[in-house]
Every structure is written in C-alpha cells, then in structure tokens.
Structure 1
Amino acid sequence: MFSNTSEIIEILGTIAFAISGTFSAMQRKLDVFGVLIIAFVTSVGGGTIRDLLIGDTPVAWMRDVQVCLVILVTSVAAIIFKTYIRKLKVTLFLFDSLGLGLFTVVGLQKGINFGLNPGICIALGTITGCFGGITRDILLNTIPLIFRREIYATVCIFGGVVYLLLLYFEINTDISKFIVIALIVITRIIVVQKRLSFPRMRY
C-alpha cells in the first residue's frame, strides 16, 4: 500500500491532524459537514501552501484520492468513537503535536527532494507543520497558536535544524526522520507542561 517511509509518515500525519481538526470542530459544536471541512483543511492546509509555493501542482491531495479517503474515514471514526478516545485520555493537544512533528518532516524532505536551500527546506517544514492548524483556528474564529505566546513554530524550526544536521553527519534518513518526529513531539509537550513562552511584545 505504501512505497516508502515518507508515505507512511504523511498518512500518519494526515490521521493525526484529521483527529485534531475533528475534535476542534466538535468543541465549537459544528454540524457534521462543518466538522469534516475543518478536519480536511487541518490535514491538507500546510501541504497545499507548501506545494503551491514550490510549484508542485496539482497539489498532493488532488493527485491522490487516498488522502481524502483517509481524512474522511478518520474524521467519521473520531466522531463515532469520541467517547472511547476520551476514555483513553488521548487529547487534542497530543494529536496536534503528533501532526506537527510528522508533517514538519514531510515538508523538510520535500524541500530536500526539490534540491532547495537548507533554510528554505526548514521554512517548508514549518509551513507544512503549522499552516493546517492556522487555517483551522482562523475558520473557528480562534487566534492561531503560532501568534500566541505558546512556542509552536519554533519547535518545527528546531526540529528542521536537527534533521539537516543528522543528514549532514550521514545518519540514516529513516532513523533521522523518527528522531526528529519524536524530538518535536517531546519538545512541544515539555514546552506546554513547563509553560515556556516568548515574552509579549509591548509598545
């Protein structure tokens, strides 16, 4: 079904963000159609912007209907089994963190595959990881996390730098991906638990 590790990571990221979007929409008491739309834009928003920026069109989800099916099935399953998921104490925050780590790596690798500058690769990883959540929050009339005090995009940038360093030192690509995914998720959890943040700008 999947030809390589990158595809598996992308599908896992899609599932994580679809659940994140679904629960965010249900918290706002949207109808079923609204929930599905939010799940969709959360899952593909970052990747769509990334692909448009690098001219890789039609964008990924338009070329592969499997992505849309994964989002639909995941969102419907999350709606049906929401009570059980809550009993397992799996939170919106956890799925958002997982999606952030998984999609950051997807964006980084795509930039590398296109032979782009390392800094641009990091930017693409950050965009892929963050912009689905930004779109979700805007549609739900919430200030996106990236614009609040909570450290969010910086975690993606940090992960991107580590990923490029691992590749520079010739660490296996698949191992590097999983290291960076774990690093981003763990760092984000620590940041939130310790309530670390940047100071507010004042004038």
Structure 2
Amino acid sequence: MNATKRRAIYETLQSLDPHPTTELEFNTPFELLIAVMLSAQATDVSVNKAMRRMFPVANTPETLLALGEEGVADYIKTIGLYRTKAKNVIATCRILIDQYGGEVPQTREALEALPGVGRKTANVVLNTAFGQPTIAVDTHIFRVANRTGLAPGKDVRAVEAALEKFTPPEFRQDAHHWLILHGRYVCKARRPECWHCVIEPLCEFKPKTPPPEL
C-alpha cells in the first residue's frame, strides 16, 4: 500500500470520528491502568461493568490495597483469569505506592515493569492517559493492519513497527483508536462487513464480503 492510500484511510476514519478514544470507562490514569490490565482476554463491556462496581469503593492504589487480593477478586470475578488479575492488581498497587508515590509512571519501561502490564497495556496508558503518540496493537488492529494492507506484519511487534513507520505524524495519536473500533465493529474476524465499510475502496483485501441476503 502506498503513502497516498494510507493517508486517505486515516483521513476517512478521522472525518467520521475526529476525537476517538477507548471504550473503557475511566476518570484517572490509575483507573485506566487497572481497566486495561483487566481487559486482557475480556471485553471492554465486561470490564466496565466490573469497574462500575469496584471503582466507587476503591479507585486508588491505597484503597485497592486495603481491599486485598480476595476483595478485588470478588469485584472482578465475572472477568476471565480474575484470580491472576487480582494478584497482579494488588502487586501493582504496592509498587506504585512504594516507588511512585501512588502515581502511575509515564514511561514504557516503568509501566512494563509492573505485574500484569505488557507492551500493549503500556502503550494504551501512555497514549490515552498521557497523550503520547504510541500505537497499541491488539487482535483487532493486527487483523485490520494485515487485511487492509495498511501495515502488514507477522506478529504484533512487526505490525506496531509498521504502523509507527507508515502512519503520518498528525494521525499517530488517534491511529490505534480508529483501527480498534474499525476492527471491532466493521472489519470483524469471521466476516468483515465490507458492504458498509467506509475505507473499502482503499482496502487491498481481495475477497470482499458481499452484503447478507435479505
């Protein structure tokens, strides 16, 4: 895919959604960090439901630490891998209090050193909470980048590198939000809904999906 097509894709997505953001609900960088940690192998909908119960009770490292691992687990038991995630949340809270004065660090290295925080989670927090132009690659973005030809890669790191290389600077801040939403609602895994895709004329996916028969 050439640079003109890539720019046109971003311009089209921007025209429909000028200010995209995550569908996870949060009010502080810490709330976002916890929500993204819990979202691994879970839907944003399920995480939001759990956070609506937990955050009014505990939404700081200190208050979550006071809840304890079992207390956190009780609030998030509707989310997959909840026991492991509760353990990581408590361990992360302890590190934030001991090393960062209860604040969320603003570097990738520090974030990735937290239990349960990988590169994708760090990128989401850096981008969404702190305004850094990072690009987090999840399964939706990996699929869209490869299927459309926007930024092909064999694994998530390769796709991330390609997106960083090929995405014009003015679109870097919002790129991963546009792509994840497009993958979640239009360019779906099993059956991409090409018949109402706004970037279909620019997409290099050959076997375009026809509309369902009425």
Give the TM-score normalised by the residue count of structure 1.
0.28
The structure that is helix-richer by fraction is 1
Which structure: larger Rg?
Answer: 2
